[in-house]
Amino acid sequence: MEIFFLGVGETCDTAHGNSSSIVTTSNGTRILLDCGFTVPHQYFRIVEDPTRLDYVWISHFHGDHYLGLPLLFLRLWQMGRTKPLSIVGQKGIEEQVMNLLEMAYPTFSKKIGFSFDFHVISPRATAHIAGMEWSTALTQHTQYNLGLLLKDGNKKLYYSGDGRANTRVRRLIPGCDFVIHESFNMVDTYPYHGSITSTLKLADEMDIGQVALVHLEHSLRKNEIDTIKRIVQNRPDTLLPVAGDV
């Protein structure tokens, strides 16, 4: 599996973009993890083939995680895509996405040159899609957010979306090879966000191979970057990615 970080920031981070990654699996399937405000511009800076994207995963319906979809669809149409695009998420994903597209570009859905295939995954359920196991857990967040575990052969990747890890997440991720986890503050300040401290504790307790800290509050990343870098440097299993890292 290859992970390309398109963006690593939270909603208001003008320097690092909204958190999103492109995952390329062992069989060449390409999955976009979330598509917030800034993601389409980041995506099309590096991808020129409109057929290259196979699946989009939407963790929840906050703007920095899904409001970039209309622009993504528009640009794919402009580039001549005819291949169906699969969208995977929680119950209501089709209605949310199609209503959003209609709001952004009225009547556009009637002329778009490709179709959508929607897949719904329920918490604690496992779906078999594109040769992989997709399993989810409901995290602790202000919006209904599903953390996603992708199992590609014997490799496991967990993407938190937003929300603090709870007992449901802990049952899902033991021994995970790679975890991309939102870490909004230095310590647990808000009940519906994770932190650097709690993410690292989670990695230790769950025997995680590597963990990437993303979705840091923008002023924390700016003002405490030296402290954060020292923490990361003392932990070989911990990454503080920036856009463009693989």
Q: Which of 54, 64, 152, 162 is catalytic?
A: 64
DSSP, res 151: E
Nearest to 18 by CA among 60, 55, 54: 60
Angle at 17 between CA 14 and CA 100, to 5 degrees: 110
Nearest to 149 by CA among 167, 131, 124, 166: 124
Nearest to 73 by CA among 29, 28, 39, 46: 39
Instruction: Answer yes or no: 54 catalytic.
Output: no
186: exposed, middle or buried (Cβ count in 10 Å: 0-12, 13-18, 19+): middle
Nearest to 138 by CA among 71, 90, 73: 90
Catalytic residue IDs: 64
